[in-house]
Chains A and B, each alone.
Chain A
Amino acid sequence: MAVNLTVNGTRHSVDVAADTPLLWVIRDTLGLTGTKFSCGIAQCGACTVHINGVPMRSCSVPVSAAVGKQVTTIEGLSPDGTHPVQQAWIELDVPQCGYCQSGMIMSVVALLKRTPNPTDAEIDAGVTNACRCSTYHRIRQAIHVAAAKVRAGGRI
């Protein structure tokens, strides 16, 4: 069936089953491979995207749930890697293998939209994605750097 989707501001009509997870529509049908598959059961967060600004684990969201809403993936965060969170990630050299980082960054962007100046406790509670390389030490520092960039006028 045809499903109408808006991803990163572009409207698409895709021919997939309505219960297909949004993740696979994004990756396979639309070819946006920055969003990753890892656990398939909404545990790890590697597949995190925004649906109307809310971070969702796209491996466990049927594509039908995104119809009529704005989906944003890592590719839609900025055209050129200049989003304040991406810049903070580069400054702190956060990623190691990097596989979880698209989802991690999407979660952090959502956190900073809700909580522009998070405490460490708010970071612990608000960012529940898993990073197997355990880059958390730099993630935490980079979140604080990104928050400062936003306070200084960075667009989020």
Chain B
Amino acid sequence: MSNNELSRRDVLATGAAATGALVVGFWMPQRANAQTNNPPGAAWSNESAAGEVNAWVVVAPDETVTVRIAQTELGQGVWTSNAMIVAEELQCDWSKVKPQYASANRDAKEMAPAWTLKVPGNGAQDPSGGGEPEFGARDRTGVQGIPDSLYRRMRTNAAASVKDGRYYLQLAGAEARERLLLAAAKTWGVPVAEVSSKNSVITHRPTGRTTTYGKVASLAAQTPHPNPERIRIKPPSEWTLMGTEQKNLDVPLKVSGKAVYGIDVKLPGMKWAAIKSCPVYGGKVKSYDFEKIRREPGVIKAIQFPIPDPKLIRGRIFGGGVAVLADSWYQAKSAIEKMPIEWDAPPENAARNSASIRAALMASLNETGKVAVNVGDCDSAFRGAAKIVEATYSVPYLPRARMEPGNATVLVTDNRVDIWLGDQSPQETRRSCAEITGIPEANVYVHLCHLGGGYGRNGNGPQAEQAIYIANLNRGTPIHLLWTREDDFINTTYRSMGVGRLRAVLDRDGWPIAMEVKTATDVEAPGQNAAFDVAARYFAPNYRFSMHTGRFHIPVGTRRGVGAPAQHFYRESFMDELAHAAGKDPYLYRRELISRTNLPYKADMIKALDMAAEMSGWGKPLPAGTARAIALEERGAEEGHHATVSAVAYTVSVAKSGNVRVERVDIAHDEGFGLVNPLSVKKQLEGQVTWFFNDAINQEVNVGNGRMVENNFDTFPLSRMKDNPPEINIRFFKSGHWLDGMGHDRATSIQSAICDAVFQITKKRYRDLPLRNHDLTWS
């Protein structure tokens, strides 16, 4: 395949005009040098466009408002919520808004406008302000989002797209609105103070004259704002679009098969790559025999690739491997499965298994660990204790197992890299492209596609780095690398296996005098301080929390909720056990212990518990084999910054056969000063119920001979319709702080709740997930 062949085919028909629809024609490098615009209908951004008022807002003469979205839509609703934030301030016609992915290339070349850098207001408890976004500690590699590049935070993670981005998206919408008004005022020769806008229509109030955004957009694009630093953002009391339920703008594309995911990208002259990487992390290819498959249909060549450079992927060490290129992916995959490959894996890695890792974590609990909190004198309290309750809990390694297997399409030419993929961290991917090819980031074009699930950060798997490496050795030919499901289980980071040992001394009334919490995970695991750090959420006058670690070869990373799902499971399970030991109601026991704390948001925590209990009919009789359990979920409740507080009551039945069914879920959820799109929040909450049900009942990946054992949906079951609770009730309550997201660590408490319900019904207490490993039958 030569460049000439490519250029002959460089203009193909474009697809449907709907935003996000499949585009079958792409510009090729030869054209791209002269023309950086994407074809109409592309889900990704035009680099620049007529009618671009600012980097976020483009208004076309037909009144279409394109809003540039710097985060990836993976089901959390960011395409819609971010567009709503901009449109609220812009005061445009919502029905004319089309989201489009922002350009990571432009982000490499342009700095953020100065007026977007200063956060208005006074932090997380100021309803009129921009909250307290976290940019201070972030670096230029894009791992955390770049503090001052054009789109700043292009990363999609930590349920923080609204938390961190809301204020500058509001500012972007407001700046564009003011420039459109200035343009109209200039056209009419009237003071800008006399014009205002609503639904994309600008009115000169004294005369009643009107014009539209589409008519003045090109003039607005030439009209700078005289003092953009004075622009203010609307507080929630003035919101008219934000806070209303809006249907997600990507949904029509997703019910018709038109949404473009990375796997759907097809370029002229493109070849497909299937891979095998060493199933033991840290291992590489010793040898392979391409001659055995050379004559298989469609096969072009094999390419060995090294262990992906850990410095590009946050230090994670995956395996080296080999790719087979073919005309179609099925040909490449069929051939590579027939190719003999020998691996060279570090013996110490290949010797590990789940039992040895678990034993090492358990042993680490007997060491001092890293003491994060130490209040009072736990040792004395335990020495003289009359009644000690102790429990040890464990959770397995878990992958995200998104439905779309990892893939990336890369075209490298002499002076330019183009990469198409669903990506939660395009700024990092841009850097990987530059590092691997030697082509500067300013010449790297990351074309964001919709992503078939994320569940806690997609950017730390090496699909992009593998594809860039292979494409760089085949410059001029677009390479689409696609993993099998089994490859996807190998080439991903895992939520660390974890153990938690909690001990408490109870006084004669059953209240804790001392509480000690020890958790253990892989040393690299994020979120080790999720639910116990800074201050106990449930009061004990003597409180110690220590973090213990082991070092293993399984690459660990963020997964939905990061540290919270495991730590909420430990904490809330232990509260159920303490309440039982004290002979008290687990709802009222929690309520009392929260009320004894000095936590800044304890009133919200109590409100959530009260509301969930009341919604669930707490205390009302239930049929035999059915039980209720309740738990608190919080993120950030220990300090007076952003926080999200919820409480959930579960009604759970356990059949005598051991079949567990969650019959009903009642969720009381903090809405802070206001939600952007309550519909998306409800969807996220509903989905997390059954997501974490899966964690409780079904899912684990074991390690055997250094390899991940379960690697497809036959051995790693996914929940289905029958697992979904028939009744999910959600109520929101206002609180006095901005929220810390709700897309990732809600309904984690289904784990402790099911375990407690199982205990109530069967009298058996299980502390190791998943429950499918245990006998839940009763008679």
Are A34 and B258 neighbours in the complex by a CB distance under 8 Å?
yes
Tell me if A36 and B719 are in contact (CB < 8 A). Answer: no
- Which chain A residues (8-53) contact chain B, with CB distance < 8 Å? 17, 20-21, 24, 28-29, 31-41, 43-44, 46
Contact of A93 among B247, B402, B693 (CB under 8 A): B247
Known: A24-B330, A41-B485, A86-B255. A93 touches B679 (CB 8 A): yes
Q: Among residues 83 to 140 in chain A, which have CB atoms less than 8 Å away from a CB atom of chain B? A: 86, 89-90, 93-102, 105, 120, 123-125, 127-140
A74 is an interface residue with CB less than 8 A from chain B? yes
Contact of A97 with B721 at beta-carbon distance under 8 Å, contacts A86-B256, A134-B688, A135-B687 already known = no
Residues of B within 8 A of A136 (CB): 690, 719-721, 723-724
Could you tell me if A40 and B484 are in contact, using CB atoms closer than 8 angstroms?
Answer: yes
- Measured CB to CB, the closest approach of chain B to A142, in angstroms, equals 10
Which chain B residues border A75 with CB–CB below 8 Å?
256-257
Q: Is A81 an interface residue (CB 8 A)?
A: yes
- A73 interfacial contact with B, CB 8 Å: yes
Would you give the shortest CB distance from A49 to chain B, in whole angstroms? 11
Q: From residue A60, how far is it (CB to closest CB) to chain B in Å?
A: 12
Number of interface residues of B (CB under 8 A): 65
B residues less than 8 Å from A140 (CB atoms): 721, 724, 726
Asked if A139 and B721 sit within 8 Å, CB to CB, the answer is yes
Give complex CA distance A124, B722 in Å. 5
- Per-position contact with A for B318-350: 1 when CB-CB < 8 Å, else 0? 000000000011100000000000000000000
Q: Identify which of A21, A75, A127, A135 gathers the most chain B CB atoms within 10 Å of its CB.
A: A135
Residues in chain B near residue A129, CB distance under 8 A: 720
What is the bound-complex CA distance between A20 and B691, given in angstroms?
34
Q: Which residues of B contact A24 (CB under 8 A)?
A: 328-330
Contacting B455 at CB < 8 Å: which of A33, A39, A132?
A: A132
Q: Given the interface contacts A34-B256, A73-B257, A89-B255, does A123 sit within 8 Å of B330 by beta carbon?
A: no
Residues of A within 8 A of B454 (CB): 97
Candidate in B264, B688, B725 with the most chain A CB atoms within 10 angstroms: B264
Give Cα A34 to B20, complex, Å: 13
The contact size tier of chain A is 35 or more
List residues of chain B with CB within 8 A of the CB of A139.
721
Say whether A134 contacts B263, CB under 8 Å: no
Most chain A CB inside 10 Å of its own CB: which residue of B252, B723, B724: B724
Contacts of A29 in B (CB 8 A): 328
- Rounded to whole angstroms, the CA-CA distance of A38 and B687 in the bound complex is 19
Interface residue? B416 (CB, 8 A): no
Q: How far is the CB of A74 from chain B (nearest CB, A)?
A: 4
Q: How far is the CB of B694 from chain A (nearest CB, A)?
A: 8
Given A99-B261, A134-B686, A136-B721, are A94 and B251 also a contact pair (CB < 8 Å)? Answer: yes
B329 touches A28 (CB 8 A): yes
Residues of B contacting A132 in the complex (Cβ-Cβ under 8 angstroms): 401-403, 453, 455, 691, 718
Q: Evaluate contact between A98 and B330: CB separation under 8 angstroms.
A: no
* Contacting residues, chain A, for B683 (C-beta < 8 A): 93, 96, 135, 138
Assess whether B297 is interfacial by the CB under 8 Å rule. yes
- Asked if A93 contacts B255 (CB within 8 A), the reply is no
Residue pair B724, A38 in contact (C-beta under 8 Å): no
Interchain nearest-CB distance for A129 vs B (Å): 8
A112 CB to nearest chain B CB (Å): 14
Q: How far is the CA of A17 from the CA of B333 in the complex (A)?
A: 14
Q: Which residue of B lies closest to A91 (CB)?
A: B247
Residue of A nearest to B333 (CB): A40
A98 touches B690 (CB 8 A): no
On whether the beta carbons of A133 and B687 are closer than 8 Å, the reply is yes
Q: Would you call B162 an interface residue if the criterion is a C-beta within 8 Å of the partner chain's C-beta atoms?
A: no
* 16 A-B residue pairings within 8 Å (CB atoms): A24-B329, A35-B257, A36-B403, A40-B484, A44-B713, A93-B683, A96-B75, A96-B687, A99-B402, A127-B720, A128-B721, A130-B403, A132-B718, A134-B689, A134-B690, A136-B719
Interface residues of B (CB under 8 A from A): 22, 24, 74-77, 247-248, 250-261, 263-264, 266, 297, 328-330, 401-405, 450-455, 482, 484-485, 679, 683-684, 686-691, 693-694, 712-714, 718-726, 728
